[in-house]
Amino acid sequence: MATASTIRPSADGRVVLPVNAFIFNLLVGACLGYFRIGQTQKAWTALAAFVLLMFPTWCIGSLVVSLAAAIDGYLQASQLEAGHTIAQWTFFNQSVQSG
């Protein structure tokens, strides 16, 4: 059963390609790929972490956040592309189990 926090694969076949989610999260503040696949809560959190870690860590923290978000975005978009349902706070290869 889908709830407001779950994201289902698009019924019309439109998907965000995993490589696009990877690139968007890597290059655009660690969040654009999340917005594109529908994980808005995670996108805002990643953007906040990206900005808050930028200056105190001389951008190294922001790079780490971007890389982790890029890998996670790729794997989450792969789950959607495979027809699995994901949630706002699923990470890496997790999907929502139906049943």
Q: Tens digit of pLDDT for each residue in 44-96?
A: 999 999 999 999 999 999 999 999 999 999 999 999 999 899 999 999 888 88
Confidence of residue 25 (pLDDT cuts 50, 70, 90): very high
Confidence of residue 22 (pLDDT cuts 50, 70, 90): very high
Tell me if 62 is assigned to some domain: yes
Tell me if 33 is assigned to some domain: no
Tell me if 3 is assigned to some domain: no
- The boundaries of the domain holding residue 44 are 38-89
Tell me if 10 is assigned to some domain: no
Residues 6+ apart with CB under 8 A from 21: 33, 34, 36, 37, 70, 73, 74, 76, 77
Q: Cα–Cα distance between 26 and 82 in angstroms, integer?
A: 22
Tell me if 24 is assigned to some domain: no
Question: What is the pTM for the complete model shown?
Answer: 0.87
Packed helices 18-27 and 60-81: angle between N→C axes, nearest 10 degrees: 160
Tell me if 68 is assigned to some domain: yes
Q: How many domains does the chain have?
A: 1
Tell me if 17 is assigned to some domain: no
Q: Cα–Cα distance between 58 and 71 in angstroms, integer?
A: 22
